[in-house]
Amino acid sequence: MNKYAIPIIITLLISGLNAAAQGGNRFFPEKDLITTGIYYYPEHWNENQWERDIKKIAGMGYEFVHLAEFAWFKMEPEEGKFEFDWLDKVMALCAKYNLKVMMCTPSAATPAWMRVKYPETFVMDGHYIRAEHGTRGLGSIVNPAYRRFVAAIVTEMAKRYGQHKNVIGWQLDNEPDAKPDYSPSSQEAFRQWLRNKYKTIEALNAAWGAAFWSQWYDSFDQVIIPNTNLVGWWGNNPHALLDFKRYSADAQAEFLDFQAATLRSYISKEQFITTNYTAVSTGADPRRTNKLDFATYTAYPNGGTNNIGELGFRLGNSKVILFAAEYYKNVGGVSGVMEIQPGPVNWGSYNPLLLPGTVRMWLYHTFAAGGKLASSYRFRQINYSAEQYHAGVILPDGVTPSPGGEEYMQFMKEIKALRKQYKPGATMPATLAARSTAILWNLENYWTIDRQKQTWQWDTWNYPIKFLEIAKSFGAPVDVIPETADLSKYRFVIVPAYEMADSALVKKWSEYAANGGHLIITCRTATKDRMGHFWEAEWAAPISTLIGAQVKATDMLSNSGKGEILMGSAHYSWNNWADLLAPDKNTETLAVFDNQFYKGKAAVVKHKVGKGSITYIGVDTDDSKLEQDVLHGIYTGAGATTENYPPGIYVYWRDGFYVAVNYSSDNYTMNMPATANIMVGEKILQPGGVLVWTE
């Protein structure tokens, strides 16, 4: 057996946060606030330009260089033959110009020789067509040969650079996405995952409801990965598909943990291990890893979508960093952006120029949300290949900073000035702490709802983000947390469309409210058990006592249909989703339906529980006005003051600094004390503007 051979790890069931891995912040001295870096691919350029480039990177103000991603062909030009002299030269140049290095494992792009001799190292799609060499992200992460090669290259890199003083840390792979893999290796790994989970085939048949359409299995060997491409999304078993998502996410996490464990045997304790998930990661679940120090995300807010107001198409989608910065903080407690769009990209529906200031605003947004590192893809715009139209921070001439590059330089200069103003030990102002909010969210609910949306108007990904935006409009500090987190830290906990639940979780929610918390639960919560089955009981049975009402039925309208709602004397409209509620005796009805045949039925209810309260919002509206007003009543009723920031104005507090960004198309005048000390920007935030101040 090859010395790198590893068994396929089949125990993929263990998931959840590793509490021990919450210490990612130790790698980032607080006084540095945020550290910046840039992706550099020396293998794309003539060696005689390397020194010029590295010197330029340092001169622009970057603090680290990101190296070796996708460079497998150069580090292992033939099977088992490793060459690092070229990388050593680049490392020496980085040291010469005082730049740290973030090393990246190259597993996302395999060399041509591997495909010739080991074609099984690639994923297969749902038609059993095997992927091939020539692009990236298509390795079959459960294939033993691929795993052997990854172990080998990661080991060689770790031995060579694991004790290197200049290496601050490692990024694993690239944008892990738990790709569906229908290859023979994956079929076998999936069956093994099922054996571990269900133990008996009877248990699987019950969980999958396999009596339906003669799906019944006599043994695990008969099971295949449910093939969405062949059968169609509506005709497949949702429980089997949910397990396939879980298996794929577990396999992805286990692959990252396997790389991390390989590195750990060689690298210094001063080097961190992370990976870079996409901001909108619908397959990979960062919370399932337990050997990484923290998770980072990649942010490409502008891919040619409309966004807020007439300038929105240049400013980008304000929700991207907003959500990712909070969500990825769950792992290791660090927020960091590994790639940030430096200008127009090549893959948007169209790729306009960014409004001047936009890249800087995105950078400040990541900083505001607690970011400890901000890196950008990429240094030089490449003159050839698939991404030749993609901006870099340097133009195709190789030497001139692009507009995004200029903005990076400005940001780095300003951060260096802010570091001088940093005072350790600042605590969050009481007005902000009084608004502290958590949003409970997990990918499993995304998977199950998105498969059975019931109405195309349901926007599964953005539904929790709508509540994040509402809480931010109040100026609240908001965390996006897993259900295992301690809720007692938060005055308000929002549970948006948490479809799969169990009685233990509902008990936890109930205790939170009894102890003085304000719980807000929305439609589509606890309607299914953890396998995605309905309860053999009333609708949403586990929460009916909790919310003090029964969900009697659900309605939805066409997109032009107009459902009306009355709350006090205020009128609202809806057409996406409406739960018709029957409140208990002691439950207050906050809003009722005001048309349709069920006019007068309750839509939003609230009741007191112990020292706190529980509100159930049974409606999803397009403009969110109803939800906004309901939440406003809850916050003010609980004694919290609120701001009223318009869409796209986000204000944060971190390390003693207030930071505001403007994604809207209008000027916004910040309401701040006359004594406030403005450090960056102006009181009137222009579109794409930023403001940093202390009070």
Q: Which is nearer to ligand GAL, 326 or 339 (CB)?
A: 339
> Distance between CA 214 and CA 237 in Å, rounded?
11
Minimum distance of ligand GAL from residue 133's CB (angstroms) = 17
Helix (H/G/I), strand (E/B), else coil: 332 = coil
- Can you name the residues that pair with 273 across neighbouring β-strands? 170
The residue (of 137 and 398) whose beta carbon lies closer to ligand GAL is: 137
Q: Please tell me whether residue 175 binds ligand GAL under the rule CB under 6 A.
A: yes
Is it true that the peptide bond before 378 is cis, omega within 30 degrees of 0?
yes
Q: Which helix (H) or strand (E) holds 629?
A: helix 625-637
Summary count for the chain: helices (H), strands (E): 19, 26
| Residues 383/396, Cβ–Cβ less than 8 Å | yes
Q: Is 577 exposed, middle or buried (0-12, 13-18, 19+ CB in 10 A)?
A: buried
Q: Does 382 bind ligand GAL (CB under 6 A)?
A: no
Write the CB contacts of 252 (distance below 8 Å, at least 6 apart in sequence): 141, 176, 177, 178, 283, 284, 285, 288
Residue 597: CA count within 13 A, CB half-sphere = 5
CB of 386 to ligand GAL, least distance (A): 8
Residue 278 CB, nearest distance to ligand GAL (Å)? 6
Closest separation in Å from C-beta 347 to ligand GAL: 6
Annotated binding site: 136, 174, 347
CB of 279 to ligand GAL, least distance (A): 9
Distance CA 309, CA 246 (A): 38
Taking CB under 6 A as the criterion, which residues in 506-545 touch ligand GAL? none
Q: Which two tokens stand for residue 453?
A: 């949306």
174 binds ligand GAL (CB under 6 A): yes
- Rounded distance between C-alpha atoms, residue 497 and residue 522, angstroms: 6
Interface with ligand GAL includes 445 (CB under 6 A)?
Answer: no
280 scored as a contact of ligand GAL (CB under 6 A): no
Q: Is the peptide bond before 451 cis (omega within 30 degrees of 0)?
A: no
Chain-centroid distance, C-alpha 537: 35
Catalytic residue among 63, 156, 254, 339: 339
Binding residue for ligand GAL (CB under 6 A) from 9, 95, 261, 345?
A: 345
Largest CA distance in the chain: 80
Could you tell me the smallest distance in angstroms from the CB atom of residue 108 to ligand GAL? 8
Tell me the backbone φ, ψ of residue 508, rounded to 5 degrees: -60, -40
Residues ≥6 apart with Cβ < 8 Å to 516: 610, 611, 612
Cα separations (Å) of 693 from 573, 677, 685?
Answer: 39, 5, 13
40-79 footprint of ligand GAL as x/- string (CB under 6 A): ----------------------------------------
- C-alpha 391: how far from chain center: 23
Whether the Cβ atoms of residue 449 and residue 524 lie closer than 8 Å to each other: yes
Sequence-distant (≥ 6) Cβ neighbours of residue 333 within 8 angstroms:
22, 23, 24, 25, 294
Distance CA 628, CA 591 (A): 13
Q: Return the number of the residue (364 or 377) whose C-beta is nearest ligand GAL.
A: 377
User: What angle do the packed helices 50-60 and 403-421 form, to 10 degrees?
Assistant: 50
496: nearest Cα among 473, 475, 476, 466? 466
Q: Cα–Cα distance between 371 and 276 in angstroms, integer? A: 14
Site for ligand GAL contains 377 (CB under 6 A): yes
By beta-carbon proximity to ligand GAL, the closer residue of 140 and 298 is 298
Contacting residues for 197 by C-beta, under 8 A, at least 6 apart:
13, 243
Q: Which two tokens stand for residue 552?
A: 């009697």
339 is catalytic: yes
Our CB check for ligand GAL shows the closer of 346 and 515 to be: 346
Q: How many whole angstroms separate alpha carbon 550 and alpha carbon 3?
A: 61
345/566 with CB nearer ligand GAL:
345
Catalytic member of 63, 69, 76, 175? 175
In the bound state with ligand GAL, the residue whose beta carbon lies nearer, of 247 and 313, is: 313
Q: To the nearest whole angstrom, how small is the minimum distance from the Cβ of residue 259 to ligand GAL?
A: 17
Which residue, 345 or 557, is less far from ligand GAL as judged by CB?
Answer: 345
- H-run or E-run covering 37: strand 35-39
- Shortest distance, position 387 Cβ to ligand GAL, whole Å: 6
518 membership: H or E segment, kind and range: strand 518-522
Is 175 an active-site residue?
yes
CA–CA distance, 65 with 575 (Å, rounded to integer): 50
Query: Which residues make up each annotated binding site for substrate?
Result: 136, 174, 347
- Residue 573: phi, psi to the nearest 5? -130, 160
* Cα–Cα distance for residue pair 100/318, rounded to 1 Å: 31
Nearer to ligand GAL, 66 or 319 (CB): 66
- Applying CB under 6 A, the site for ligand GAL has a residue count of 9
Contact 79, 118 (CB under 8 A): no
| Residue with tokens 């919450």, as numbered in its chain | 22
Task: Lay out the site mask for ligand GAL across 286-305 (x = CB under 6 A, - = otherwise).
Answer: ------------x-x-----
To ligand GAL, the closest distance from the beta carbon of 298 in angstroms equals 5
- State which residue, 345 or 395, has the beta carbon closest to ligand GAL: 345
At position 620, the amino acid (one-letter code) is D
252 binds ligand GAL (CB under 6 A): no
* Minimum distance from residue 156 beta carbon to ligand GAL (Å): 23
Measured from the CB atom, the residue of 372 and 390 that comes closer to ligand GAL is 390
Tell me the per-residue interface mask from 116 to 155 with ligand GAL, x by CB under 6 A, - otherwise: ----------------------------------------
| Distance of closest approach, residue 90 Cβ to ligand GAL, in angstroms | 19
Please tell me whether residue 390 binds ligand GAL under the rule CB under 6 A.
yes
Q: Which of 339, 469, 479, 483 binds ligand GAL (CB under 6 A)?
A: 339
Using CB under 6 A as the binding rule, whether residue 411 contacts ligand GAL is answered as: no
Q: What value, to the nearest 5°, has the Cα angle with vertex 418 and ends 415 and 421?
A: 160
Nearest-CA neighbor of 510 among 549, 542, 468?
542
Binding site for ligand GAL (CB under 6 A): 174-175, 298, 300, 339, 345, 377, 387, 390
Residues designated as active site: 175, 339
